[in-house]
Amino acid sequence: MGGIRIATFLLRTAKEKIIEYRKVLPNSGRSRVQIANSLDKGRMVMAEGIVRQLQSKYGSVARSDLSGDHSAVRSVAEAFGYSAEELEVIPAGANMGLSCGNPTAFASLRPGEVVVDLGCGGGLDVFLAATKVWPNGKAIGVDMTPEMIERARQNARKTVHGRALSNVEFHLATIEQLPLPDASVDCVISNCVLNLVPDKRTAFREIYRVLKPGGRLAVSDIALKKPLPGEIARNVLAYIGCIAGAIQIRDYEDGLKAAGFHAVKIVDMCKNLNVYAKIENLSACCSSPADAAELLPVAACCVPALQDKKNAAGLHQDLADLFRKYNANNYAASVQVYAVKKNDAP
């Protein structure tokens, strides 16, 4: 549990840190600039700690056999808006039950467009987008976890609608530093990932940078309806599980507008977030498809590597216990986020 205690400390708010500095150094004579610099370093350490945790847990998912061959995984995807037909045509390994919506369903993608999926995972939304912008358009996936990119590239070697997709590519990078030119993208999509980004304002500005004038953002994400209880807000597992890193809907809208977006619209889709907590056997995600057929993963992003199953089971139990105590639907929502980059052309 020591790792959780450290991560919990790292996830304290800046306000709490300011209070701590005042208590520890009441007569230190340090300037506000010095204290601010210390806080910035603290936030950097916090962000780096979060990134390492995310890469570790999502890397475990990518190495697992979790896929659309599990009925539980398909159930999660269908609960959040994917049709059985869509899930049937993509490689099974692209779907790992990590969704909280279906951004390709409302992104209004057209043939010839360039679309980028942020936090693409195994490529689920990239492959669906590629079929919509085919044949002259391109679908680009970006993910910061090497194992996910490798899994997506392996999936790309398989066929979709009976043909190999030549209009997809995948890049290892963070959302805060996209490896794309300015004004090069028609549409940015993402699925249950922006809530995980520690520096959301930088991410919003970077998305705005790569979009063409008049380009659009179409995202499925988790956002908060009201502040989380402290027990959840400071829990690293709840962060990795896509809850504790989420921001309130109003702040989400303000952040996008501050980055330059207009026509910002955020819609609560009224989905049941407790679908993630219907697991009984905490190691089922690493079992055979037959064994796991009727079980749903708790925040599937927390699936452990095989060698860590025993320890991770306890971590899963902590998260499951949290959401038995607190109904996630009371605090958070699966939302559709839509915004447009201003077109300054006359």
Spatial CB neighbours of 63, under 8 Å, sequence gap ≥ 6: 147, 305, 306
Residue 345 binned pLDDT confidence (cut-offs 50, 70, 90)? low
| DSSP-assigned beta bridge partners for residue 257 | none
Asked whether residue 185 carries a pLDDT value surpassing 80, the answer given is yes
On the 0-12 / 13-18 / 19+ scale of CB atoms within 10 A, 141 is buried
| Domain boundaries, position 323 | 1-346
Render pLDDT for 226-277 as a digit per residue (tens, 0 to 9): 999 988 888 877 887 788 899 999 999 999 999 999 999 999 999 988 776 5
Structure confidence at residue 162 (pLDDT): 78
Render pLDDT for 10-32 as a digit per residue (tens, 0 to 9): 333 333 433 333 333 344 454 54
Structure confidence at residue 321 (pLDDT): 72
d(CA 219, CA 104): 9
Average pLDDT of span 286-292: 34
Three-state helix/strand/coil letters over 230-294: HHHHCCHHHHHCCCCCCCEHHHHHHHHHHHCEEEEEEEECCCCHHHHHCCCCCCHHHCCHHHHCC
Average pLDDT of span 146-175: 93
Asked whether residue 104 carries a pLDDT value surpassing 90, the answer given is yes
Please give the mean pLDDT across all residues of the chain.
Answer: 79
Q: Beta strand 163-164 with 159-160: parallel, antiparallel or unpaired?
A: antiparallel
DSSP codes, 206-224 = HHHHHEEEEEEEEEEEEEE
d(CA 87, CA 344): 39
Residue, of 284 and 266, whose pLDDT is higher: 266
Structure confidence at residue 301 (pLDDT): 39
Asked whether residue 177 carries a pLDDT value surpassing 90, the answer given is yes
Distances in Å between the Cα of 217 and the Cα atoms of 34, 81, 214, 306, 336 are 38, 18, 10, 37, 10
What Rg value do the Cα atoms of the chain yield, rounded? 20
How much is the pTM? 0.79
Q: What is the CATH number of the domain that holds 37?
A: 3.40.50.150
DSSP annotation of 298 reads: S
Structure confidence at residue 235 (pLDDT): 81
Structure confidence at residue 178 (pLDDT): 98
Q: How far is CA 250 from the centre of its chain?
A: 19
Asked whether residue 298 carries a pLDDT value surpassing 60, the answer given is no
Q: How many domains does the chain have?
A: 1
Render pLDDT for 40-95 as a digit per residue (tens, 0 to 9): 444 554 577 888 888 988 898 899 888 999 888 898 899 999 999 999 999 999 99
